[in-house]
Amino acid sequence: MNFIQQAYKGKNEWYHWLTTLFLVFLGWQILGVIPLVMAAAAKSKNIAEFLEFAQTNFMTAGIDKNLLLFLIIFTFFVGLLFLFIGVKYIHKRTITSLITSRKKVDWKRFFYSFFVWGFIAIAFSYISILLAPENFIWNFNAKPFFILVAISFLFIPFQTSLEELLFRGYLMQGLEFWLKIDGFL
């Protein structure tokens, strides 16, 4: 059984797909945003300032940039959690079925790809610095930098995982199930 055909496992009525998508949206765009709104409200001096902030954007809220990044990524974490709940308890499938058709994830391939892309990103960044050093400014501050590094390594994988598992896993398998397009690929 290939990866796309994993969609045929478990429960697959239309309302299973719709309920899971609704749960992901609920978690990602509504419940996950609550801590961000609470942080913005705590920084606002009055209700008028908070309402003005809500109509513009979160960048003007006066929230520390690292905290803001964490709170934004937290929304993806909640969405990912709800996707897992939907797949496991509504569809009665394994989470692994969103990642691979194998019995378990091949971590060796995962880390190989991670390091290849990491090397490519570092190489292009270095080349960019060599070609146009005037585009870069050295402004190292240890405390915010190491907080950003910790947030990046610990929490950005939740954001990328939600995107990959929702769009390239769940929705791609759902399209296969409902449109039967596997034969066209």
pLDDT digit string, tens, across residues 34-50? 998 888 778 777 677 66
User: Which pLDDT score, from 0 to 100, does residue 53 have?
Assistant: 64
Quickly count: other Cβ atoms within 10 Å of residue 40's Cβ.
21
User: Which pLDDT score, from 0 to 100, does residue 37 have?
Assistant: 82
107, 36 in Cβ contact below 8 A?
no
Calculate the alpha carbon distances from 31 to 72, 100, 105 in Å: 12, 29, 30
Q: What is the mean pLDDT of residues 127-156?
A: 94
User: Which pLDDT score, from 0 to 100, does residue 6 have?
Assistant: 83
Spatial CB neighbours of 76, under 8 Å, sequence gap ≥ 6: 28, 32, 158, 159, 161, 162, 163
Taking all residues of the chain, what is their mean pLDDT, rounded to a whole number? Answer: 88
Pick the residue with more confidence: 6 or 82?
82
170, 97 in Cβ contact below 8 A?
no
pLDDT in tens, 46-104: 677 666 666 666 555 667 889 989 999 999 999 999 999 999 999 999 999 999 888 89
How far, in Å, CA of 11 to CA of 18, rounded? 12
* Measured CA angle at 170 (ends 88, 92), to 5 deg: 20
Confidence of residue 183 (pLDDT cuts 50, 70, 90): low
How far, in Å, CA of 48 to CA of 59, rounded? 17
pTM listed for this prediction: 0.82
